[in-house]
Amino acid sequence: MFPQADQSDTYEDCKATADWLLAQSAVRPSVGIVCGSGLGGLAAALKDQVAFDYKDVPNFPQSTVHGHAGRLVFGTLRGRSCVCMQGRFHLYEGYSVQKVTLPMRIFKLLGVDTVILTNAAGALNQDFKVGDIMILKDHINLPGLSGNHPLVGLNDERFGVRFPCMSDAYERELQQLALDVGQELGFGDFLKEGVYSVLGGPSFETVAESRMLAKLGADAVGMSTVHEVTVARHCGMRVFALSLITNRAVMDYDSPEKANHEEVLVVAKQRAEQVERLICTMVARMERRHNNNDDDDHDDHHDD
């Protein structure tokens, strides 16, 4: 007998929430954006905004973390219809992994085809510096490997297949687009690629845990994103994700450094403008690639 998923994670409840949102806004988003700690300012770039507090959205959880505004914002970004989450949900807030990933299924039912996720993360790779932006090329899902996985329970084929592939979780074309845009914007010195490892939190890692993760091949560690990516891919959406390196994981017992959330928010604030420029430019390029009615110069690169 399979354990049951959260009741709030049923197809019918997700559809009820999506239908409620579609009735409240004329925007029909094709891009969904999730803002990590201190990066919620990206939503301010949306034009013609219609915003909802999470507490007002049926079936939606509420964000309890400082640096997460807790609003769902609809609007247009560089001419493309978007929905943006100002703040996400985490296992350490006490939510089930099904509740944490509920917004991804709602995104799918809203019509979203591409999801962009951002997070703040600690560097395990010794070549990374605080302030670097790491484009995710893969992940290590330690909670999932131990059974705390968002797809545990009965599978609803209306969302996706029972055994989804994760070897292509992160869209390679979007990774390359980010690298190209980053070079054009002059971000080459602090734009990296790497593997992200998710832990449950809320405590930061011990020295032994950080060393273990580095030996497993992780370049950065955080407490989010992977669960959302898994469900987004299960639903058939394209995924791009990046980590803002806001601290270095402590790898030495003699180190005086201590990870703390305040440092995370300070670094996020300092680098937020570059993150926003990178994503806004990417969305503009994605618009040209997906829309073959306007920009003939880019029609040959249509990639659907």
Q: Give one DSSP letter per residue of 58-86, joined into a string.
A: TT-----STT---EEEEEEETTEEEEEEE
Question: Which of 18, 25, 54, 68 does the annotation list as catalytic?
Answer: 68
Tell me, yes or no, if 224 is annotated catalytic: yes
- The beta-carbon contacts of 273-277 under 8 Å, at least 24 apart in sequence, are 274/133, 274/185, 274/187, 274/190, 275/39, 275/42, 275/118, 275/133, 275/242, 275/244, 276/39, 276/41, 276/42, 276/45, 277/185
Tell me, yes or no, if 37 is annotated catalytic: yes
Tell me, yes or no, if 223 is annotated catalytic: yes
Instruction: Tell me the two tokens of residue 283.
Output: 């969305």
Instruction: Determine the Cα–Cα distance for residues 182 and 130; give it in Å rounded to an integer.
Output: 17
Question: Which of 169, 214, 223, 232 does the annotation list as catalytic?
Answer: 223
Q: From the CB of residue 89, how many other CB atoms can be counted at a distance below 10 Å?
A: 29
Tell me, yes or no, if 54 is annotated catalytic: no
Question: Which of 59, 93, 95, 228 does the annotation list as catalytic?
Answer: 93
Tell me, yes or no, if 68 is annotated catalytic: yes
- Residue 88 near residue 163 (C-beta atoms within 8 A): no
Question: Which of 224, 237, 243, 286 does the annotation list as catalytic?
Answer: 224
Buried b (16+ CB within 10 A) or exposed e, 65-75: bebbbbbbbbb
Question: Which of 69, 92, 148, 284 does the annotation list as catalytic?
Answer: 92
- Residue 129 near residue 45 (C-beta atoms within 8 A): no
Tell me, yes or no, if 120 is annotated catalytic: yes
Question: Which of 45, 85, 120, 218 does the annotation list as catalytic?
Answer: 120
Question: Which of 25, 30, 37, 119 does the annotation list as catalytic?
Answer: 37
Question: Which of 81, 247, 286, 287 does the annotation list as catalytic?
Answer: 247
Q: Which residues are catalytic?
A: 37, 68, 90, 92-93, 120, 223-224, 247, 261
